[in-house]
Amino acid sequence: MALEDDDELWRSPGWLYPAILIASAAVLSYRSRLLSTKDHKDIKPFLPASCPPASFLSSQRKFLGVFFLALAAQDLQIIYGESFLAHKGFKRDRIALFFIFSHLTSLLLGPLIGIVADHIGRKKACVFYCLLQLIGSLTKQSANNLILWSASISHGLATSLLSSTFESWLVAEHEKSGFRQEWISDTFWLLSFGASVVAIGAGGLANYLVGQLSLGVAAPSLAAAVVASFAAFSIFLFWEENPLPSHAKFMGGLKNDIILCFEKKMLLLGCVHACLDFANTAFWFLWTPTLVADGRGLHSGLLFPCLMACEMLGSAVSAMILCGPWNVRAEDVLRWIYPCAAISLTVPAYDYQEIGVLICAFCIFHVCYGISWPLLARLRSIYVPTEHRAAIMTMFQAPAHAVVVFILINGSIYQQLENSRIFGMSVAGLCLGGYCLHLIYRSRQQLLEKFSTQRP
């Protein structure tokens, strides 16, 4: 197939990326200025009137540094993942099967590995995550198809651990250290903001290894193995193990986790979590095919940093919401953010092809996602019991994995689902998540009214 002339490929406007970065910096600068001048009588416990001590800041840096290494290993695996499989001779349907197998692993084994993590300790589970990334990186280099397919199992399990055990360790360590509950919100928005920075950096490193150094599409995966090794070493060196739960029996813990998941508030929160996870996962599968659907060429490598910068902007806004000066409860804001995200995805759901409008819609979605992730993390820290956190978080992810498997089978293998319909499912899911958030909000309002009427 002939390559398109580089001059004919569509590029995002040169001003877009720096403009979004400047907007993020402006939001954070505005927040800092407001907090420094705000009357201390009105300041909530998190803010400068009771500034977090050095011990909290040290613990925060210790967690974030290790987490960003672990996240970089995951990002390096993903960036050239499809190109790597194509280089190995995989056709489109086999590549889809590889991703299906990975999501099936997360669906079927993810909750079990989350329960194990709660029982053996989150530090050990985080080290195991690094080991899985290392194994996945090395097995992908094999010419043996059976060994190569085992990499999808490693990546599926690693995905479940990354999105559950690291946060579980953080919350348990925060509580063990006796830090104020409000302070953890500061870590959540920094985590979300930094994750976008790491994604941009990992993309740049992968492109440098493949393009500038001409090391081939396997190079990012090998780099991920090195980064995962550093992450494991850092966990051994700097982290302490969480206190283990009192229930030592595995089956007893499994029973308690299942009972907890079927409580009304947990079901609502799990639905909220799964709907956003599904919409985000579907987006990353479909954004490039959607933009090139009318035959246009695209410099996707130039657009990806813009989307990540939008998430950074959203994370900066979440800092205003959670940590001052606004200090609004998470569910109060999220019940409006989900509908905004749904509206942004109605553009590709209607199969609209004007690229400027599509890019604008995609940017809005990622701003909404950047706002939502820290707020959801805050909700989880409030409602999910610490001793069951890893297990319940992996159970929250299970519905999203199930829907992704269904879509990959029907969309990529049997080709019975159009991209616009999948985006439509994402819109419906976000609307459902927004309704669940409204129910959580209404439940809290009823409790507040009940307590206010009981006061003398």
The pLDDT averaged over each successive group of 10 residues in the chain (456 residues) is 51 89 95 72 46 87 97 95 88 90 95 91 96 94 86 94 96 92 92 97 95 92 96 96 69 76 91 96 92 76 91 96 82 95 95 87 98 96 91 93 93 87 96 96 82 62
**What pLDDT, on a 0 to 100 scale, did the predictor assign at position 353?**
78
Residue 132: which domain range? 58-454
User: Is residue 281 situated within a structural domain?
Assistant: yes
Q: Is the dihedral of CA 290, 294, 299, 303 positive or negative?
A: negative
User: Is residue 163 situated within a structural domain?
Assistant: yes
Q: Note the pTM of the prediction, 2 decimals.
A: 0.92
By the 10 Å C-beta count (0-12 exposed, 13-18 middle, 19+ buried), 221 is classed as buried
3-class state of residue 298 by DSSP:
strand
Residue 286 sits at the vertex; the CA angle it makes with 284 and 287, to the nearest 5 degrees, is: 70
Nearest to 312 by CA among 356, 366, 388, 360: 366
User: Is residue 333 situated within a structural domain?
Assistant: yes
**What pLDDT, on a 0 to 100 scale, did the predictor assign at position 395?**
93
**What pLDDT, on a 0 to 100 scale, did the predictor assign at position 65?**
97
**What pLDDT, on a 0 to 100 scale, did the predictor assign at position 252?**
66
User: Is residue 320 situated within a structural domain?
Assistant: yes
**What pLDDT, on a 0 to 100 scale, did the predictor assign at position 90?**
87
DSSP state of 177: T
**What pLDDT, on a 0 to 100 scale, did the predictor assign at position 3?**
39
User: Is residue 330 situated within a structural domain?
Assistant: yes
User: Is residue 251 situated within a structural domain?
Assistant: yes
Number of domains in the chain: 1
Nearest to 254 by CA among 104, 391, 396: 391
User: Is residue 38 situated within a structural domain?
Assistant: no
Q: Which residues neighbour 287 within 8 Å (Cβ) at sequence distance 6 or greater?
A: 307, 362
Rounded CA separation 41/230 (Å): 45
**What pLDDT, on a 0 to 100 scale, did the predictor assign at position 40?**
44
Contact 165, 122 (CB under 8 A): yes
CATH of the domain at 346: 1.20.1250.20
User: Is residue 324 situated within a structural domain?
Assistant: yes
